[in-house]
Amino acid sequence: MFSIFKKEISTFFNSLIAYIVIGVFLLVTSLMLWMYPNSNVLDYGYAEMTTFFDFCPYIFLFLIPAVTMRMFSEEFRTGTLELLFTKPITLWGIIFGKYFASLCIILLALIPTIIYYISIYALGNPKGNIDSAAIVGSYFGLLLLSAAYAAIGIFTSAISKNQVVAFILAAIVCYFFYDGIGQLSNLFTGSIQYYLNYLGLDFHYASLGKGMLDSRNFVFLISFSALFLVFTQMVLNKIRK
């Protein structure tokens, strides 16, 4: 599993797309946070990162599928998946190697954004006048949301031999579970609306963003990721047979 993990990390960063994807992410989030009219920190007048955390899930709809689209699709294209099946490693080892490599890449893209927090912390009046608990909760939520997106991306990569198709499918499915279910719930009222909302990723991400580190949100997001990894294992198991 660790060999697959290292191979995926190395392959990703040996390609130009890695630097383009991470560079575009940092550029867009910087513009949103510091320069976008009427919502940037300097115009808004409050020491917070709400704009960043509001936009990130939508940016990740494209960034994460771009990271995961080649994980299995590339193996199909080059014909190396069958060779991988002959190695002394379980299907779960293959899946986890690729999955954790995706998460590591996403984490490396997020780490530089800590400078946003440091900058806003220093700009606060008085200095440090920022809700750090909400920031920490939002980062936890963003990491768990990224894990859910990555699990979806790994799954769509396993069901498609074409990277572009895998990318589009991942983006659509991620959007449906993040925002689509919430939009669908607006057609209902009462308990039906609540439970539909609860099934959406946005519900749990928003809860964590309020600084409420509720174990139910953690359990839901982790279980959601695990479910799509199980789907991936079922697809690969069928292909191997």
Using the 8-state DSSP alphabet, how is residue 35 labeled?
Answer: T
Banded model confidence at residue 220, pLDDT cuts 50, 70, 90: very high
**pLDDT score, position 154:** 95
pLDDT of residue 99: 95
pLDDT in tens, 75-122: 888 888 888 888 888 889 999 999 999 999 999 999 999 998 888 888
pLDDT at position 212 over 70: no
Question: CA 151, 153, 155, 159: dihedral to nearest 10 degrees?
Answer: 180
What's the token pair of residue 99?
Answer: 């999955």
Query: What does the pLDDT average to over 209-220?
Result: 80
61, 178 Cβ separation under 8 angstroms: yes
pLDDT value at position 21? Answer: 83
What's the whole-model pTM score?
0.92
Q: Are 201 and 145 spatial neighbours (Cβ–Cβ below 8 Å)? A: yes
Phi/psi at 49 (5° precision): -115, 30
20 exposure class (CB count in 10 Å sphere: 0-12, 13-18, 19+):
exposed
pLDDT tens readout for residues 20-71: 888 888 998 888 887 776 666 666 666 678 888 888 999 999 999 999 998 8
Model confidence over 120-172: pLDDT tens digits?
888 777 777 777 888 888 899 999 999 999 999 999 999 988 999 999 999 99
Is residue 175 pLDDT above 80, yes or no?
yes
Please answer whether residues 240 and 76 qualify as being in contact, where contact means their C-beta atoms are separated by less than 8 angstroms. no
Per-residue confidence (pLDDT) for residue 171, from 0 to 100: 95
Q: Which pLDDT value is given to residue 57?
A: 92
% of the chain surpassing 90 pLDDT: 37
Tokens of 142: 């963003």
